[in-house]
Structures are given as structure tokens and as C-alpha cells.
Amino acid sequence: MDMVSESGQVEKYYQFAECLNDGGFVMDFEVYRGDVAGRLDGAGENWNSGRYPIGQRRKIDLGTLRFNGQPPEVGDSLQIFVRVVAGVDKRGPGFLYAPNGHTAVQRAAGTTLFYGIDLL
């Protein structure tokens, strides 16, 4: 499901989030929900990808997460938050939630201190 925003950009909706570790590090990630001011509302309770090395990926059904005890609602703004062992932590690009079977595939690539996260 895609929708055109007021700015004319196509907004993508996803049911799953997946992150490929394509960097020279070990990492884990969590999923955060944002609010209209761009602040993060908190991580999905009781879920973390667990640490994994380069060349591996982890995936989560976003509908199974709970934010303040509630599941995500259609249109909620979500982001992954990557933690790199002995490196820096970063937010990935935002995306919107909908139970539609689509996967937001993101890739973390670079080195422990200098890496980026792209939505593929």
C-alpha cells in the first residue's frame, strides 16, 4: 500500500522490518515509534534483534510489537535504531506501518564509527 502525502511524495507502508548487516561490525537493532514532532515514543517492548555479524540479517513482524502496551496502528511512523558493538548508535530512515505483507529492508553499511543506514 502506497499513498501520496500532502507534499506529493509517495509514502511506503510496511508490515515487516528487516535489517541487513553489511558493515564491518557486530550490531543489533530495535524498532521505535515516532510522533508528529519527530520524537521517538519508545522501543517495541520486549524485542531486540540480538547481536549479529556482517552478512546476516534479522526480520520482525511489526504487528507483534507493543508500544506502551499497544500494537502499532496503520500509519504509525516507525524507525529502526541500530546499536554497533564498540561503535556509534544510529536511527534508520522512517517508514509507515500497515499489515500488508511488505517488508522495509534496510542496510547498515560502513565501519563502527562511520556507517549509514539505507532503506532499500
Per-residue pLDDT, 69 = 86
Q: What is the pLDDT along the chain (120 residues), one digit of tens a residue?
A: 545 444 445 579 999 999 999 999 999 999 999 865 556 666 777 789 999 999 999 999 999 999 888 899 999 999 999 999 999 999 999 999 999 999 999 999 999 999 999 999
**Domain-wise residue ranges, the chain:** 12-119
CATH of span 12-119: 2.60.40
C-alpha cell at 21: 548487516
Per-residue pLDDT, 49 = 96
Rounded CA-CA distance 66/54 in Å is 28
In terms of Cα–Cα distance, which of 108, 120, 114 is closest to 57? 108
Q: What is the pTM of this model?
A: 0.86
In terms of Cα–Cα distance, which of 109, 66, 96 is closest to 1? 96
Rounded CA-CA distance 117/114 in Å is 11
